[in-house]
Copies of this chain bind each other. A is one copy, B any other.
Amino acid sequence: MSEERVVTACVLIIGNEILSGRTQDVNLAHLATELNEHGIQVREARVIPDDENEIITALNACRARYDYVFTTGGIGPTHDDITAECVAKALGRNLYSHPDIEALVRRREAPPSVMAARMRMALVPEGAELLTFSFGPGGFVVDDVIVLAGVPRIMREMLTSVLPKLKGAKPVRSRTVSAYVTETQIAAPLRDIQDRFEQVAIGSYPFTHEGKFATSLVVRGTDADLLDSVCGEMEQLLRGIGEVFDPES
């Protein structure tokens, strides 16, 4: 890899329901794609339970390694929603009740116990900048931590509102070429291409298409001209062995 400036991130997916298999996470793929468009590379993701020690440990470990840590999940009003207080503890900040959220919550009347539960959602670490989404307050940014909802529709809305606030570098772009070849047929010459172009990362992904074995070669990097040139070499390699085709068409 070249020495150009990169901005990196880790995604912490918080929730017992993901680790139990009850819920299929779909937030990581969306975050990875959108963050990359903004010039932030997701380098790692962790799925962790609704457990204070686990969340704080993961936050600290990942903050030390990446420019940003994004969390999804655990920001509702119930006892298993502990992300905000864990972020406060990890950052050594006090948790406080944000007056803007309190005002929003008070707009709709409710019995005292319901109001108290809603007010839990006003608790954020001191210094947090609130994100807004169309149904009311939600996530927040504090230091290098971006706290997002777990519900995909709401997470996406929050992400859109936070992206302009974040620094980014060049997005990673990719070129893909696919052919009816097996991975073993192209492994040796493909390694040669990778060895000659250290600034890009080449991936090889086997699949079946219309009952035949096929392989997609993907080259990733930030330099468009270089990607075109490497992709040209990969295509030439594939054409010498099997039919090149577009699996999307």
Q: Which of A105-161 contact B (CB under 8 A)?
A: 110, 113-114, 116-118, 120, 151
Instruction: For A76, list chain B residues within 8 Å (CB).
Output: 183, 204, 206
A71 interface hit (Cβ, 8 Å):
no
Residue count of chain A within 8 Å CB distance of chain B? 64
Instruction: For A46, list chain B residues within 8 Å (CB).
Output: 44-47
Q: How far is the CB of A154 from chain B (nearest CB, A)?
A: 10
User: A187 is contacted by which of B19, B29, B120, B220 (Cβ under 8 Å)?
Assistant: B120
Question: Once the chains are docked, how many angstroms separate the CA of A35 from the CA of B94?
Answer: 39
Instruction: For A205, list chain B residues within 8 Å (CB).
Output: 17, 23
Q: How far is the CB of A143 from chain B (nearest CB, A)?
A: 23
Contact in complex: B21, A204 (CB < 8 Å): no
Question: Once the chains are docked, how many angstroms separate the CA of A54 from the CA of B110?
Answer: 50
Question: Once the chains are docked, how many angstroms separate the CA of A173 from the CA of B213?
Answer: 40
Complex interface bits, A8-46 against B, C-beta within 8 A gives 1, otherwise 0: 000000011111111111101111110010000011111
Instruction: For A29, list chain B residues within 8 Å (CB).
Output: 18, 21, 23-25
A163 interface hit (Cβ, 8 Å):
no
Question: Once the chains are docked, how many angstroms separate the CA of A107 from the CA of B50?
Answer: 50
Q: How far is the CB of A169 from chain B (nearest CB, A)?
A: 16
Contact in complex: B19, A45 (CB < 8 Å): yes
A236 interface hit (Cβ, 8 Å):
no
Instruction: For A17, list chain B residues within 8 Å (CB).
Output: 203, 205, 218
A69 interface hit (Cβ, 8 Å):
no
Contact in complex: A201, B113 (CB < 8 Å): no
Instruction: For A22, list chain B residues within 8 Å (CB).
Output: 174, 218
Contact in complex: B184, A114 (CB < 8 Å): yes
- Taking Cβ atoms with an 8 Å cutoff, the residues of A that contact B are 15-26, 28-33, 36, 42-50, 54, 76-81, 110, 113-114, 116-118, 120, 151, 172, 174, 183-191, 194, 201-207, 218, 220
